[in-house]
């Protein structure tokens, strides 16, 4: 007996589609909960293992003390080995950051994102008897490296692969990122040094929240820390006649005829031809064939090599490839045995970065302010200006003007501070973050962010104007 089924109506199809979507969302949420549960279980097992190991170690130590008879005569105390050689590392914060960012939400992930951001660091008196003495000479530098702890990670678990927000969910190795969730929760940032006052340093362009423990400060030196600014080191002679060769070489270079063929770089660019180059090389070869003593032969050969290297460098800048090949084929082989090249720095050395850093999948956003937000931001008084006693108005603690605050807000929002989850699942929700003493409310659209409200942060007591 066959049963005829009634056709499904459009309303039922729409309800079925909604149910299927809800089931798909619930499955994803269940999968996320399983992953979180697995992570919690692994962290719990690690903690239990460490506790069992500590308890067993204490128990074994007490049992050995009870079974071991006391020695008849105490042995002379041996010199204790250094703790660092034993692998024992003890760190003590030298100070704590006082920053314009009070919470993690909205704090820049890199220091260059928000240039107007400011912070202060006071060296603890418990570290040095005279903390100001430790900062003597630091004012001569414009930037400093800050080594700190990620104290707001929330838990000590970490994974070999992470999902940086800049990659929008794609996994990469933790050591190819600057993720705070690492085996050792150490952070490194480059901050601009504004001034040093006593035992306190004033910083800008920072990405650390208030209360961050700082472990160390080091000056930023471009010649050591930036490959692009390292100078090119010249080749040096390994023979005993190094000083003689350098002196003869300087005199030969200074005595070159002041002609369009051998004078300045501009003459080389404008007037030199391939025939002139061959003529100059042939003259240098004839000079090299003159009988010389043992010491002067090495000096002259080194000088010839240097002169030809200078010509080669000039021609390479102007794409004179044929002349460059003629010089390198004939003369470089003669002096290669007496010279050794040191590592070359400068134009030949460059630094490389990952593709997702230079061209991230997350685009830079445009930032707009509503008229209401602009009026509310203008109500904030700068940190260094005292106005008349006209009532109660909000005041910045670090930022120096409303324009600087607006620039800082644009820097934070243009880099899209949202997490991957909020970016994909909570697109229609408002976003809140704190900057200095201001609480900012905004929302994100397609390719832009708009600031809706700027008000005094609830955790800050309003300052009366004196």
Q: What is the pLDDT of residues 323-352, one digit of tens each?
A: 444 434 444 344 444 444 444 444 445 678
pLDDT, residue 242, reads 45
User: Do residues 241 and 353 make contact, with C-beta atoms less than 8 angstroms apart?
Assistant: no
Give the pLDDT band (50/70/90) at residue 248. Answer: very low
More confident residue, 63 or 112: 112
Confidence band for 156, pLDDT divided at 50, 70 and 90: confident
The percent of residues above 70 in pLDDT, for the chain, comes to 63
Q: Does residue 155 carry a pLDDT above 50?
A: yes
Query: What's the whole-number average pLDDT of the chain?
Result: 74
Residue 212 DSSP label: P
Is beta strand 186-197 parallel, antiparallel or unpaired with respect to 431-435?
Answer: unpaired
Structure-model confidence comparison of residues 265 and 413, the more confident one: 413
* Cα–Cα distance for residue pair 185/147, rounded to 1 Å: 11
pLDDT of residue 464: 35
Q: What separation in angstroms does the CA of 377 have from each of 186, 386, 440, 464?
A: 35, 17, 10, 17
* 22-36, 60-74, 267-281, 332-346, range with greatest mean pLDDT: 22-36
d(CA 394, CA 397): 10
Helical ranges in 260-370 per DSSP H: 265-270, 274-288, 294-317, 321-335, 355-358
Q: Measure CA 256 to chain center.
A: 47
Tens of pLDDT along 227-244? 777 654 444 444 444 444
Give yes or no for residue 3 having a pLDDT over 70: no
Question: In the predicted model, is pLDDT for residue 456 greater than 80?
Answer: yes
Report the pLDDT value the prediction gives residue 130, as an integer from 0 to 100. 92
CB contact at 8 A, 394 and 379: yes
Predicted confidence (pLDDT) at residue 105 exceeds the cutoff of 80: yes
Task: Compute the average pLDDT of residues 425-448.
Answer: 91
More confident site: 10 or 283: 10
Give yes or no for residue 450 having a pLDDT over 70.
Answer: yes
In this structure, the chain runs to a length of 466
- The 10 Å CB-count burial string (b at 16+, else e) for 403-439 is ebbbbbbbbbbbbbbbebeeeeeeeeeebebbbbbbb
Could you read off the pLDDT of 186-223 as tens digits, one per residue? Answer: 999 999 999 999 999 999 999 999 999 999 999 999 88
Taking the mean position of all CA atoms in its chain, how far away is CA 397? 27
186, 149 in Cβ contact below 8 A? yes
For residue 105, what are the CA distances in angstroms to 66, 117, 212, 426?
55, 15, 15, 15
DSSP E strand boundaries for 132-239: 143-149, 161-162, 172-173, 186-197, 200-204, 213-219, 236-237
| β-strands 161-162, 186-197 pairing | unpaired
CA distance 5 to 210: 67
Pick from 112-121, 150-159, 374-383: least confident = 150-159
| CA–CA gap between residue 395 and residue 465 (Å, rounded) | 9
Q: Which comes out higher in pLDDT, residue 426 or 284?
A: 426
pTM: 0.56
């Amino acid at each position: 007996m066959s049963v005829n089924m009634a056709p499904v109506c459009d309303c039922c199809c729409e309800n079925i589609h909604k149910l299927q979507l809800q089931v798909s969302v619930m499955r994803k949420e269940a999968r996320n909960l399983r992953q979180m549960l697995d992570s919690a279980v692994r962290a719990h097992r690690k903690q239990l293992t460490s506790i069992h190991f500590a308890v067993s170690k204490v128990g074994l130590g007490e049992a050995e003390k009870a079974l071991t008879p006391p020695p008849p005569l105490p042995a002379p105390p041996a010199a204790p080995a250094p703790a660092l050689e034993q692998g024992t590392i003890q760190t003590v914060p030298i100070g704590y950051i006082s920053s314009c960012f009070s919470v993690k939400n909205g704090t820049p992930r890199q220091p260059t994102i928000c240039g107007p951001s400011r912070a202060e660091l006071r060296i603890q008196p418990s570290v040095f008897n005279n903390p100001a003495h430790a900062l003597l000479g630091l004012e001569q530098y414009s930037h400093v490296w800050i080594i700190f702890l990620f104290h707001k990670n929330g838990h000590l678990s970490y994974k070999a692969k992470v999902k940086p927000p800049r990659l929008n969910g794609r996994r990469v190795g933790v050591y190819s990122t600057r993720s705070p969730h690492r085996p050792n929760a150490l952070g490194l940032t480059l901050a601009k040094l504004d001034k040093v006052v006593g035992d306190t340093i004033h910083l800008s362009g920072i990405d650390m929240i208030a209360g961050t423990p700082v472990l160390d400060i080091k000056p930023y030196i471009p010649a050591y820390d930036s490959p692009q600014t390292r100078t090119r080191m010249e080749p040096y002679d390994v023979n005993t006649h190094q000083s003689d060769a350098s002196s003869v070489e300087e005199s030969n270079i200074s005595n070159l005829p002041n002609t369009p063929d051998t004078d300045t770089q501009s003459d080389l660019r404008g007037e030199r031809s391939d025939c002139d180059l061959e003529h100059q090389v042939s003259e240098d070869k004839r000079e090299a064939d003159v009988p010389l003593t043992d010491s002067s032969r090495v000096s002259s050969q080194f000088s010839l090599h240097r002169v030809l290297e200078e010509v080669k460098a000039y021609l390479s800048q102007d794409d004179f490839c044929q002349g460059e090949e003629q010089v390198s084929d004939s003369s470089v082989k003669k002096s290669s045995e007496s010279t050794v090249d040191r590592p070359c720095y400068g134009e030949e050395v460059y630094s490389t970065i990952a593709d997702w850093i230079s061209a991230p999948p997350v685009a830079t956003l445009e930032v707009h302010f509503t008229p209401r937000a602009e009026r509310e931001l203008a109500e904030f008084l700068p940190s260094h200006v005292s106005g008349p006693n006209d009532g109660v108005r909000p005041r910045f603690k670090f930022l120096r003007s409303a324009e600087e605050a607006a620039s800082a807000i644009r820097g934070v929002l243009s880099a899209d501070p949202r997490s991957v989850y909020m970016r994909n699942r909570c697109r229609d929700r408002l976003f809140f973050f704190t900057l200095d003493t201001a609480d900012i409310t905004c929302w994100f659209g397609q390719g832009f962010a708009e600031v809706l409200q700027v008000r005094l942060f609830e955790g800050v007591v309003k300052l009366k104007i004196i």
